[in-house]
Each structure stands twice: as C-alpha cells, then as structure tokens.
C-alpha cells in the first residue's frame, strides 16, 4: 500500500517548499486573477502527474484498475498534504497571509468575524469538498495513464 501512495507523498513534498515560499517568505500582492494562466498550468500539470502515476502503477500488472487506484490515491494524499501545509503555514504566518489581496476581498464579503476563522473554514471546506473531487479526477487521470501503459506494455502476439 505504501508503494501505491508514494506518488502522493512526493507531490506533497514537492509542493511544501513552494507553499512556504509563496505564502510566507515571498508573498505576492497580486490577485489570482492576474496569474490565471499560471494557475491553469499548475492544474493541468497536476492532472498529468496523476496520469503519470497511474501509468507507472500499471507497468507491471497491466491492470487498468491499478492505474485508477494509484491516480486516486496520489490525488487524495497529495491534495490532503497540500491543504494541511496551507493550514500550517497560514496559521503560523497569519499576519503575512492576512495581507493577500484575494483573502482580504473574500474575507470582507464573508460572514466571518476574523481572518483566522475565514482562512481555517475555507481550508476545511477545501478539504471536505475539494479533496474528494481531486480524488475522482486523479482516478480518471490515473486510469487514462494506466490504459496507456497497458497498451504499451501488453505482450505482443504475432499471428501469421
């Protein structure tokens, strides 16, 4: 089971330094609207990563369901770790994170009494609703990668 989860652990480990850098050390004053193309590219690269995990998970077994399982586990574990890292960094560096344009706008339009409660409830909603959605996307992407691997690595039969 740990072998199937390794890609999710890699994903969490890969994103951890970027989260710390972007949230606490070099926070941006720009809105997410200004960097929409970059955000889209990160999402697409993430989906390709889930597909690659599924591809790698199927190379030996040649069972597409293994790709679905590995892709879903990668997404669930990776996104869970990413949300946990955001929760840790956002709470430790609350003063810095509270200065972000998008968080200020969203907080002002919310019913929350403090920035801390807004941030933590937003992360909780992301964990409850977002992680399962990414699990499904990861399973689908992993299944696609698994199907590709099963076709590439399937034994060839020569019939004359």
User: Do 153 and 66 meet the contact criterion of CB atoms below 8 Å apart?
Assistant: no
In 3-state terms the chain splits into helix, strand, coil percentages (rounded to 5) of 80, 0, 20
Predicted confidence (pLDDT) at residue 156 exceeds the cutoff of 80: no
Q: What confidence score (pLDDT) does residue 35 get?
A: 84
3-state secondary structure of 100: coil
Q: What is the mean pLDDT of residues 122-140?
A: 96
Please classify residue 111 by burial: count the beta carbons closer than 10 Å to its beta carbon, then call 0-12 exposed, 13-18 middle and 19+ buried.
Answer: exposed
Q: What is the mean pLDDT of residues 108-128?
A: 95
Kindly state the DSSP code that residue 113 receives in the 8-state scheme. Answer: S
Question: Where are the domains positioned within the chain?
Answer: 2-27+35-153
**Whole-number Å distance between alpha carbons of 50 and 153:** 19
If pLDDT is split at 50, 70 and 90, which confidence band does 132 have?
very high
Predicted confidence (pLDDT) at residue 80 exceeds the cutoff of 70: yes
Cα–Cα distances (Å) from 16 to 30, 71, 83, 88, in that order, read 21, 20, 10, 11
Q: What confidence score (pLDDT) does residue 159 get?
A: 58
Predicted confidence (pLDDT) at residue 158 exceeds the cutoff of 70: no
Q: What confidence score (pLDDT) does residue 144 get?
A: 98
**Whole-number Å distance between alpha carbons of 32 and 38:** 9
Percentage with pLDDT > 70 across the chain: 97
- What tokens does 111 get? 């019913």
Q: What confidence score (pLDDT) does residue 160 get?
A: 55
Residues 6+ apart with CB under 8 A from 44: none
Predicted confidence (pLDDT) at residue 157 exceeds the cutoff of 90: no
Name the nearest CA neighbour of 81 among 143, 151, 139, 17.
Answer: 17
- pLDDT tens column, 25-60: 998 888 888 888 999 999 999 999 999 999 999 998
If pLDDT is split at 50, 70 and 90, which confidence band does 114 have?
very high
**Model-level pTM?**
0.90
Name the nearest CA neighbour of 30 among 105, 101, 106, 104.
Answer: 101
**Whole-number Å distance between alpha carbons of 78 and 89:** 16
Predicted confidence (pLDDT) at residue 86 exceeds the cutoff of 70: yes
Kindly state the DSSP code that residue 61 receives in the 8-state scheme. Answer: T
Q: What confidence score (pLDDT) does residue 36 get?
A: 86
């Amino acid at each position: 089971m740990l072998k199937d989860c390794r890609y999710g652990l890699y994903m969490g480990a890969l994103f951890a330094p970027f989260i710390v850098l972007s949230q606490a050390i070099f926070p941006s004053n720009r809105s997410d609207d200004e960097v929409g193309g970059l955000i889209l590219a990160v999402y697409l690269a993430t989906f390709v990563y889930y597909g690659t995990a599924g591809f790698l998970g199927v190379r030996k077994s040649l069972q597409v369901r293994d790709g679905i399982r590995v892709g879903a586990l990668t997404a669930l574990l990776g996104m869970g770790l990413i949300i946990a890292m955001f929760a840790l960094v956002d709470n430790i560096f609350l003063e810095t994170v509270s200065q972000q344009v998008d968080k200020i706008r969203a907080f002002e339009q919310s019913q929350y009494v403090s920035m801390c409660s807004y941030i933590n409830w937003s992360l909780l909603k992301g964990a409850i609703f977002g992680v399962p959605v990414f699990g499904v996307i990861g399973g689908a992407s992993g299944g696609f990668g698994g199907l590709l691997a099963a076709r590439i690595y399937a034994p060839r039969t020569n019939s004359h």
